Amino acid sequence: MQITKRERIFDGHFKVNQLTLQTADGEQLQREQFAPGHAVAALVFDTAKQHYLVTKQFRPGPERALLELAAGMIDEGEDPETALRRELHEELGYETDQLTHIATIWPSPGTSAESIAVYYAEVSRQTGPGGGLASEHESLEILPYTREQLAQEAFEDAKTLVAVQWWKLNK
């Protein structure tokens, strides 16, 4: 399959493209593509306090609050690690000591152009309040988890499941 045309059909808080695809036999197909940008996320371990940090916040998709990794969008021209360090400070208030890349995933490749670079992060110095940025209308709760709590939690968020599964296999 080949993309022969791409048109932005919605350009609001989120973006939607309409793609014209040509199949191997020459047929033309129209498909909409959700194009929110690219994101970063991390399973965060506070080495000083010996606990993991998970966020809880309202999400429009499921229409309720979810437990998930600290995460955010990569700004134009920003590399994933710089974006993640910024997001960990905004959401959790921590400076990052060490990052380990777990995987870059496509959560819904049939409809979305979003990828998420998932990391394991170690932190030890909280230098800010966290909780997200008021200017971005973020309001999140920071929850500390012990090793046992993290292993037993029934997470529903895909990026969180990927990171926790990696952690179970590697830590």
* Half-sphere exposure at residue 90, Cβ-oriented, CA atoms within 13 angstroms: 19
Q: How far apart are CA 99 and CA 85, in angstroms?
A: 9
Q: What is the CA radius of gyration of the chain?
A: 18
**Mean pLDDT value of segment 4-30:** 95
Q: Which residues are annotated as a binding site for Mg(2+)?
A: 71, 87, 91, 138
Read off the pLDDT band of 19 (50, 70, 90).
Answer: very high
Q: Which residues are annotated as a binding site?
A: 71, 87, 91, 138
Q: Please state, as a whole number, how many other Cβ atoms lie within 10 Å of the Cβ of residue 125.
A: 12
pLDDT at 136: 74
Instruction: Give tens-digit pLDDT for 151-164.
Output: 999 999 999 999 99
User: Would you state the structure tokens that stand for residue 148, as one six-digit string?
Assistant: 């046992």
Which overall architecture, per CATH, does domain 39-170 show? Alpha-Beta Complex (3.90)
- 152's torsion region: left (phi>0), alpha (psi -120 to 50) or beta? alpha
pTM summary value: 0.92
Ordered by start, the domain boundaries in the chain are 2-34, 39-170
**Mean pLDDT value of segment 56-71:** 95
pLDDT score of 120 more than 80: yes
